[in-house]
Structures are given as C-alpha cells and as structure tokens.
C-alpha cells in the first residue's frame, strides 16, 4: 500500500492499495476507485498524471509481535 502525490492533470493525494499491469486501484476521498496506468508518468507534465517520486509513502503491515 502507498500514499501517492499526483500532480499534472490533477493535484491530489490518494492511497494505492493494488497495482496490476494496467491499473492502479485506489482508496480515494474523491470517490475514484481506479486509475489506468497508461496516462501516468513520473515526468513533469500538465496533461498527464504525474506520480511524484518524492511524494510516495510506502506502507507495510507486519504481524503483531507479542511481548511478555
């Protein structure tokens, strides 16, 4: 899972919970549930979705450890 800053055609943060070869699956406050990968880039742009490399926060869930 990752929190991703998207600029370019939009200026928004979203949670990406699944990635397939063609789709990013989202949990998003705007109600968007997925984004096709084809209009995405990591280059600065105003017409495509730019996934800002410096604004990607990866989240990993690990099993709970028990301390006695």
Please give the model's pTM, rounded to 2 decimal places: 0.80
**pLDDT < 70 regions, the chain:** 64-68
33 falls within a domain:
yes
Can you list the alpha helix ranges (DSSP code H) found in the chain? none
66 falls within a domain:
no
pLDDT score, position 17: 96
Q: Note the maximum CA span of the chain.
A: 55
Domain that holds residue 23: 2-58
Number of domains in the chain: 1
25 falls within a domain:
yes
32 falls within a domain:
yes
Cβ proximity of 8 and 55 under 8 Å: no
pLDDT score, position 67: 64
68 falls within a domain:
no
């Amino acid at each position: 899972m990752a929190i991703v800053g998207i600029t370019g055609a939009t200026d928004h943060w979203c949670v990406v919970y699944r990635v397939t070869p063609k789709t990013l699956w989202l949990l998003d406050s705007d109600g968007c549930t997925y984004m096709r990968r084809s209009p995405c880039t990591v280059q600065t742009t105003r017409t495509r979705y730019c996934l800002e490399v410096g604004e990607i926060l990866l989240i990993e869930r690990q099993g709970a450890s028990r301390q006695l």
